[in-house]
Amino acid sequence: MNDIIIFDTTLRDGEQSPGFSMTTNEKIQMAQQLEKLKVDVIEAGFPIASDGDFEAVKQISQEIKNTVICGLSRVMKKDIDRAWEALQYAKKARIHTFIATSDIHIKHKFNKTREEIFQMAIEGVKHAKSYTDDVEFSAEDAFRSDRGFLAKIVEETIRAGATTVNIPDTVGYAITSEFGDLIKFLFDTVPNINDAIISVHCHNDLGLGVSNSLAAVENGARQIECTINGIGERAGNASLEEVVMSINTRKNFFNVRTNINTKEIYPSSQKLVSITGVPVQPNKAIVGDNAFAHEAGIHQDGFLKNKSTYEIMTPQSIGKEKSNLVMGKHSGRHAFQERLTELGYSLDEKELDDAFKRLKELADKKKTIYEQDLIAIVEEQKQGFEEKFKLQYVQSSSGNRTIPTATVEIIHGKETIIDAAIGDGPVDAAYKAISRITGCRGELKSYNIRSISEGRDALGEVTVKVAFDDVIVKGKALSTDVIEASAKAYLNAVNRFLSNHSVDDPKVEKI
């Protein structure tokens, strides 16, 4: 009873927040990383919410073998049926069904009575139970619910078959001691509470998501719902890395454990950044760039004499080791393949040929190639759609006294199309030329650049979000040259848009 279940909702609560949407293929990649991290439960989506969510839950259920896969549903029969339709392929499946129990929600969202809500909850749990033994019930907005009513609903949903009952602070309103007290109240009041696992789901609106979750653990909760990098609705959810490292670093205080492979924490955080293009703030606990940097002179002095003076955990414990040199210009195809296998990738012959060719191209531009570079090369290749337009070359000029100009050459089928444009800067000029060539005019919504590895010749990764009318599409690309990476990222968004939205070939304007 000292094991804490880590329930990851990065792909559901996290993914539904603005700027974090992922394709099915990206969700599968993230789910594979979560399995390596050894989370106990992956909440893969909300199947009735959209066809995309349904497809992702279904494919993750088919793909992931060792972790419990969970799908969210309201308590209505049709929601639960749809959730099961997607989850039925999972080796271990959980249905997570919910209804709000606070008077504010009951009155303003449902216009119903407590008694009606109570009946709906019980029926929902029973219906879910007809599909699987593993049923979780959530009392949405539990923290603001009437305590007596909440206790009754917890007791009866357990009696109806819920094996986990979740107590969310949906709006992030609770103060830590109050939230701990609510959990204690439930353990003191609900007679059959030990027949289920009590879970918590704390939002971070007041920056208390992690501390509220930990206070719940002190009072008997045994499942924490959390996300990588703390992403989620509004200010996000309790962050997985902070929850897990608090429990690990302060074992003597909490006296509980998790199954998490902490060495996969940093790689998981980086994977999410790479997929979504949203960086982590530098001072973010555990996974921020500065989390293990010791700058102040007096700190450095103490740190060099004995690390424990200023370090309560090591960067190695979360898998943040100094990047190791892995490949050079003269590395062979076989060594490359072995390294990829070690990193957990299996490529077919053609994929390996392509990746190896790109490794060689990179080695011509960059002296040392790090593990992160290899991962980036392979990940870029696995995007799962066909590129109608390929960048052949981009050349740009800019300066404080010239008009920024870019010339772009693109291959489209058997044609090669070239165009040039001026813009507010070299990147803008390149984007204008690409728009003209592809006939696909988008509006740049966001632009992010980060370096993948170390050194002046590091690979730069550009992530863009581009609006084509009301459809927002993400694009991503890598290069040692930022203008090239920027152009490729934009073209990647154009290609993704064309493949996702089955638009006919755009009119190609030739010059």
Q: Rounded distance, CA 497 to CA 492, Å?
A: 8
According to DSSP, the residues that pair with 409 across neighbouring strands are: 393, 418
Q: Rounded distance, CA 390 to CA 412, Å?
A: 7
- Using the minimum distance from each CB to Zn ion, give the nearer residue, 13 or 136: 13
- Using the minimum distance from each CB to Zn ion, give the nearer residue, 13 or 155: 13
- Using the minimum distance from each CB to Zn ion, give the nearer residue, 235 or 352: 235
- Using the minimum distance from each CB to Zn ion, give the nearer residue, 172 or 442: 172
Tokens of 75: 């308590």
Name the DSSP letter for residue 302.
Answer: H
Tokens of 277: 């293009």
Tokens of 357: 């060719």
Whole-number minimum distance, CB 103 to Zn ion, in Å? 20
Whole-number minimum distance, CB 202 to Zn ion, in Å? 9
| Residues 180-209 contacting Zn ion, CB under 5 A | none
Whole-number minimum distance, CB 95 to Zn ion, in Å? 17
According to DSSP, the residues that pair with 199 across neighbouring strands are: 166, 223
Residue nearest Zn ion, CB atom distance: 13
- Using the minimum distance from each CB to Zn ion, give the nearer residue, 13 or 419: 13
Secondary structure class of 283 (helix, strand, coil): coil
Q: Binding marks (x or -) toward Zn ion, 4..43, rule CB under 5 A?
A: ---------x------------------------------
| Residues 231-260 contacting Zn ion, CB under 5 A | none
Whole-number minimum distance, CB 258 to Zn ion, in Å? 20
Whole-number minimum distance, CB 435 to Zn ion, in Å? 38
- Contact between residue 441 and residue 349 where contact means Cβ atoms under 8 Å apart: no
Secondary structure class of 124 (helix, strand, coil): helix
- Using the minimum distance from each CB to Zn ion, give the nearer residue, 13 or 373: 13
- Using the minimum distance from each CB to Zn ion, give the nearer residue, 95 or 202: 202
Whole-number minimum distance, CB 18 to Zn ion, in Å? 14
Task: With CB under 5 A as the rule, give the number of residues binding Zn ion.
Answer: 1
Q: At what angle do helices 114-129 and 77-87 cross, to 10 degrees?
A: 30
Please name the residue ranges forming H helices in 343-406. Answer: 349-365, 371-381
Whole-number minimum distance, CB 174 to Zn ion, in Å? 13
| Residues 101-120 contacting Zn ion, CB under 5 A | none
Q: How far apart are the first and last CA of the chain?
A: 71
Tokens of 430: 């390149």
Please name the residue ranges forming H helices in 279-369. Answer: 297-305, 333-342, 349-365
State which amino acid sits at residue 319: G
Whole-number minimum distance, CB 108 to Zn ion, in Å? 18
Q: Binding marks (x or -) toward Zn ion, 39..78, rule CB under 5 A?
A: ----------------------------------------
Other Cβ atoms within 10 Å of 263 Cβ, number? 15
Gyration radius (Cα) of the chain, Å: 25
- Using the minimum distance from each CB to Zn ion, give the nearer residue, 13 or 53: 13
Secondary structure class of 152 (helix, strand, coil): helix
Whole-number minimum distance, CB 204 to Zn ion, in Å? 10
- Using the minimum distance from each CB to Zn ion, give the nearer residue, 81 or 233: 233
236 φ/ψ angles, rounded to the nearest 5 degrees: 95, -175
- Using the minimum distance from each CB to Zn ion, give the nearer residue, 35 or 233: 233
Whole-number minimum distance, CB 119 to Zn ion, in Å? 24
**Residue 281 buriedness (CB in 10 A; 0-12 / 13-18 / 19+):** exposed
- Using the minimum distance from each CB to Zn ion, give the nearer residue, 79 or 373: 79
Other Cβ atoms within 10 Å of 415 Cβ, number? 9
Q: Which of 420, 418, 424 is nearest to 402 (CA)?
A: 424
State which amino acid sits at residue 482: V
Q: Rounded distance, CA 156 to CA 166, Å?
A: 13
State which amino acid sits at residue 129: K
| Residues 81-100 contacting Zn ion, CB under 5 A | none
Whole-number minimum distance, CB 241 to Zn ion, in Å? 18
Whole-number minimum distance, CB 143 to Zn ion, in Å? 12
- Using the minimum distance from each CB to Zn ion, give the nearer residue, 138 or 438: 138
- Using the minimum distance from each CB to Zn ion, give the nearer residue, 19 or 413: 19
| Residues 313-332 contacting Zn ion, CB under 5 A | none
Half-sphere exposure of 208 (CA within 13 A, CB side): 16
Residue with tokens 């103060």: 175
CA 413 to chain CA mean position, Å: 35
Whole-number minimum distance, CB 171 to Zn ion, in Å? 9
**Residue 369 buriedness (CB in 10 A; 0-12 / 13-18 / 19+):** buried
- Binding residues for Zn ion, per CB under 5 A? 13
